[in-house]
Structure 1
Amino acid sequence: MPTSKINQDDINKAVWNACDTFRGVISADTYKDFILTMLFLKYLSDVYRDEYNKLVEQFGDNPELIHAMMSKQRFVLPEGASFWDLYEQRHQPGNGQRIDEALHAIEEANGTKLKNVFQDISFNTDKLGQEKQKNELLRHLLEDFGKDILNLSVERVGSLDVIGNAYEFLIKHFAASSGATAGEFYTPPEVSNLLATILEPVEGDEICDPACGSGSLLIKCGAMVRKNSNSKKYALYGQEAIGSTWALAKMNMFLHGEDNHRIEWGDTIRNPLLLDKDGKHLLQFDVVTANPPFSLDKWGHEDASSDPYGRFHRGVPPKTKGDYAFISHMIETLKPSTGRMGVVVPHGVLFRASSEGKIRQQLIEENLLDTVIGLPEKLFFGTGIPAAILLFKKNKTDDTVLFIDASNEFKSGKNQNQLTEDNIAKIIETYKARSSVDKYAYLASFDEIKENDFNLNIPRYVDTFEEEAEIDLDAVRAERLELKAELDTLEAEMAGFLKELGYGA
């Protein structure tokens, strides 16, 4: 095996090429779980083998001592369950069953750390075709990950970041090809960076995403703590409703070295699981942030009025739009003194009336809303509609609300628009300055918002209208006459040429 350092582009290209095994056979939305899980298994196996070989070199043939020392590693890899065990048997029937058994053994051996992570992911599935085709596909997959380029040993990779980044790279590309389902598991990294920067998580913070998808937003917040405080003293919490996506989040945390996390599997609105020891009260956090599903239908309206946690005391959101259900839940999980919150929402949340209007009014009257940021269209995978970020704070020092219209600040792409570093920097600078900027931002008083019937539609506050330049009719007429004279001259020249060639009179 080569031991030269691998670079990020090489590993990204290699794992993306491994998808060729499934392309044209099953959809990306189906095979993404196989690719991401195999990357996870390969990483565990290479790191474990690397450490085992080092101990053998150091202590010689002393299996009991080596076994005891290996059991104290960050994770345990049971005998027969490594990627290389599966690779050696790849030409034999039963690849799907062997992979599933190996994953189950890894779950069992690692207790709560990897409990149930693979239970919603099966390689022994009919989705891969009949047994012969399935076995061939999985043999190719094992061979793809067995190539020298995907040697993921610590000696070659150097840090967890390379693997974590490759995992995020795959998730992003799967999101780009997953259409409407992409929003279920992925928030664009630029949006995650913006939220993590604005919310400023610091040492000691407890950070929660109640609709965490694959965990990328939480991981960005963790990285921001390390950047701001040079400390790993923080805790990440999340909940995710979709089993396979929850598994992605757990693996993502592991690959990024985020051991101090608690990610629950379940429906946050119907069955919140981040509760205190007695199970009677919601846990509260310093930072709460999320990109929940937009205007979710069937979010749990039928039970909301009798919610045991009192989350909907400001009103019950409409049956077919769950945006304010998530907002209400998040508000109730903020710590009273340090709580701050950022949530991505569709623009309808800013101005829709009825029950949503009443909830919005109470949030503003309680002086919880801090900032409204309008984002560009086509920023999120799976939807072309523009979104907004709502920032809330406990213990605000004034009753103003800052409106930022960043809807025209983006880098245009073929299918997706993107926030550039300059776009993000401008938003953050404006947010920190907290003052009006012509055609970009407006600091509104409570009275102004009240006069607008608590409607938060951004154009009511930020005037981006550009007056058209005044037209000089005399100049236009003079230019027209000049062009007409030029045209007459050309016509005369053309007539002369035609006459010389024997055409015309």
Structure 2
Amino acid sequence: MTNDEFKSTLWGAADKLRGSVAAATYKYPVLGLVFLKYVSDMFDAQAQVIVKRLADPKAEYYIPDEDSRGEIATQFTQDKTFYDADNVFWVPPNAHFSALLAQAAAPDLAQRLDKALGEIEAENPSLKGVLYREFSRLELEPGKLGELMQLLAKLSFDPGRHGSRDVFGEVYEYFLGQFALKEGARAGEFYTPKSVVNLLVEILAPFKGTIYDPACGSGGMFVQSARFKDAHAATLKKKGDLAIYGQELMAATRRLALMNLAVHGLHGDLGATYGDTFHNDQHKTLRADYVLANPPFNISDWGGDKLADDPRWVHGIPPKGNANFAWLQHMLARLSSRGRAGIVLANGSMSSQQSGEGDIRRSMVQDDVVECMVALPGQLFSNTQIPACLWFLSKDKGAGDNGSIDRRGQVLFIDARKAASGRISRTQIEFTDEDLQRIAQAYHRWRGTQFSDGEEYTDEPGFCYGASLEEIEKHGFVLTPGRYVGALMQEDDDEAFGEKMDRLTAELAEQMAKGAELDAVIRERLGALGYGV
């Protein structure tokens, strides 16, 4: 099998075992067991490393006498110190995946798993409160948990053979994506499609400095940023280094992110606990070089009425009924003097005028912190058909660290609505590597960054255009790329009728649901005032 076929087969079998348990519940034990298999394999691999070092004349702990080497090897491989030294998690014997697999038929397997993961947390402080320990609460049919362990036992990680952590990392990310497809609308709480993450990363190009995601979900932005850094280190002949900071509202999703970082060998500060970024900011003093985020779209119950005097609102107080411009200003406030941000938002943020949003957008443009706007296709997300866009903000648009071309007083517009040529399913598309490079290179050429292919930037009708602030003012500070890129942009005339109808129907359903929620709130408040409704 190819890697993709193996992952697909593994997922298919795991999903069949799910039974009556919802995907939203099932993902935590599955990913928890994937992590247990990963740390167990890493532990075994480290034991072999210790043994080899004892036989290596160049190693610090070389033992020339072969007879005594075996006895010492037994002692060293049972000494936690030699695992801590190489940042490998210590796995107690009874908590090892193989030890638990041998008890897969035991009626109390769930309780044994909870206890084992508790022991791993106790031995590794960085995992405290991270691992899934609720197997005993699962309502799975008898024997299903043991079958799941036997299935996941097919996974194997051998650093000597694979040379990286990508095997488990890929399986982990693949499962996250599959759970997102299963969960539909709920997926937005923890998962951003890989295609969207890749585009953010390719344009923002995080390489050296501090990276921050205030709505980090399962940590996909961090993982892809680290991959970008590693991939370009050799090309640029420079060492990249990223310090990771993030925050997540949901406790269970925060645990997914911490496990995801661990699977990929990354370390990050996700704050002391989970919490609301607006009201319980875990990184108030942080000034990041890169911010990447896909915050929840158009949230109305974000508690804005309690933050009217917040110092983050430099460009205007965000409306109480929509957090889009609260997110933009929060991220802008967390940027360093050379910092840049890439943010996914609903298309409405580019043109809305209600509740002062147009004034905030105008202020941001006039303050010259908006660097690039990208319009996305409508079928990139599994959990919503609402079209989205990317905002790229910058604290320094002059010639220097962020690019050799001075772009102060200008904004790059990219219309990528027709630029995704990959297809995941009938209802979901994605950007191919070629698509990503086309879009990213438009930005890097325009800015003159070290990641540019060296070709000179030119406006491309229907795709990209560099506009002056004066031009943007003539358009009423609306930032929709279609207004600027010109020809080939007949709005949605080229959109297939069926696709357009599906999209508009989905948008209408979401708006109607939101209207029903607001109607319920109004009725409740009128009732509290003594009015019968």
TM-score by length of 2: 0.78
Q: State the 1:47 CA deviation.
A: 2.2
Q: State the 1:155 CA deviation.
A: 4.6
Q: Does 2:414 correspond to 1:404?
A: yes
Q: 1:212 — aligned with what?
A: 216
Which of 256, 271, 274 in structure 1 is aligned with 2:280? 271
Count residues in correspondence: 442
Q: 1:83 — aligned with what?
A: 97
Q: State the 1:157 CA deviation.
A: 4.5
Letter aligned with residue 149 of structure 2? L
Q: 1:238 — aligned with what?
A: 246
Q: State the 1:18 CA deviation.
A: 4.2
Deviates more, 1:288-297 or 1:87-96: 87-96
Letter aligned with residue 151 of structure 2? D
- How big is each residue's C-alpha offset from its partner over 1:301-350, in whole Å with a ceiling of 9 and x where there is no partner? 1321143xx112322222231111111110001101x2111111111001
Q: Where do 1:200-349 residues align within 5 Å? A: 200-203=205-208, 205-230=209-234, 231-259=239-267, 261-264=268-271, 265-275=274-284, 282-307=285-310, 310-336=311-337, 338-349=338-349
CA distance in 1, matches of 2:315, 2:168: 44
Q: State the 1:152 CA deviation.
A: 2.8
- How big is each residue's C-alpha offset from its partner over 1:65-96, in whole Å with a ceiling of 9 and x where there is no partner? 33223454421112311112222222222222
Q: 1:490 — aligned with what?
A: none
Q: Give the secondary-structure state (helix, strand or coil) at the position aligned to 1:359.
A: helix
CA distance in 2, matches of 1:167, 1:50: 19
Q: Give the secondary-structure state (helix, strand or coil) at the position aligned to 2:44.
A: helix
Q: Give the secondary-structure state (helix, strand or coil) at the position aligned to 2:430.
A: coil
CA distance in 2, matches of 1:384, 1:450: 30
Q: State the 1:201 CA deviation.
A: 1.9
Q: 1:15 — aligned with what?
A: 10
Gaps of 5+ in 2: 55-68, 399-407, 447-457, 491-533
Letter aligned with residue 389 of structure 2? A
Q: 2:386 — aligned with what?
A: 385
Structure 1 runs, 4 residues or longer, greater than 6 Å off: none
Larger radius of gyration: 1
Which of 477, 483, 487 in structure 2 is aligned with 1:460? 483
- How big is each residue's C-alpha offset from its partner over 1:269-292, in whole Å with a ceiling of 9 and x where there is no partner? 1211024xxxxxx30011111111
Letter aligned with residue 89 of structure 1? Q
Q: State the 1:371 CA deviation.
A: 0.9
Q: Give the secondary-structure state (helix, strand or coil) at the position aligned to 2:393.
A: strand
Which of 147, 152, 177 in structure 2 is aligned with 1:140? 147
Which of 26, 33, 45 in structure 2 is aligned with 1:31? 26
Q: Where do 1:101-180 residues align within 5 Å? A: 101-111=115-125, 113-118=126-131, 121-125=133-137, 127-129=138-140, 133=141, 135-146=142-153, 149-155=154-160, 157-180=162-185
Would you say the 8 A contact 2:131–2:259 is kept in 1? no
Q: Give the secondary-structure state (helix, strand or coil) at the position aligned to 2:413.
A: strand
Would you say the 8 A contact 1:222–1:236 is kept in 2? no
Structure 2 vs 1, CA of residues 423 and 54 (structure 1 numbering), >3 Å: closer, same or farther?
closer
Q: State the 1:22 CA deviation.
A: 3.0
Letter aligned with residue 217 of structure 2? G
Q: Does 2:461 correspond to 1:428?
A: no
CA distance in 1, matches of 2:50, 2:367: 60
- How big is each residue's C-alpha offset from its partner over 1:385-432, in whole Å with a ceiling of 9 and x where there is no partner? 221111111122321111111111222541201112232222123223
Q: State the 1:466 CA deviation.
A: 6.8
Q: 2:519 — aligned with what?
A: none
For the aligned residues, what is the CA RMSD? 2.3
Structure 2 vs 1, CA of residues 70 and 429 (structure 1 numbering), >3 Å: closer, same or farther?
closer
Would you say the 8 A contact 1:43–1:153 is kept in 2? no
Structure 2 vs 1, CA of residues 439 and 101 (structure 1 numbering), >3 Å: closer, same or farther?
same
Which of 36, 39, 46 in structure 1 is aligned with 2:41? 46
CA distance in 2, matches of 1:371, 1:55: 50
- How much identity, in percent, do the aligned residues show? 34
CA distance in 2, matches of 1:404, 1:298: 31
Would you say the 8 A contact 1:373–1:403 is kept in 2? yes
Letter aligned with residue 355 of structure 1? G
Q: Give the secondary-structure state (helix, strand or coil) at the position aligned to 1:410.
A: coil
Would you say the 8 A contact 2:195–2:380 is kept in 1? no
Q: Give the secondary-structure state (helix, strand or coil) at the position aligned to 1:124.
A: helix
Structure 2 vs 1, CA of residues 425 and 150 (structure 1 numbering), >3 Å: closer, same or farther?
closer
CA distance in 1, matches of 2:444, 2:85: 46
- How big is each residue's C-alpha offset from its partner over 1:215-243, in whole Å with a ceiling of 9 and x where there is no partner? 11111111222223343522111111112
CA distance in 2, matches of 1:165, 1:263: 22
Q: State the 1:35 CA deviation.
A: 1.1
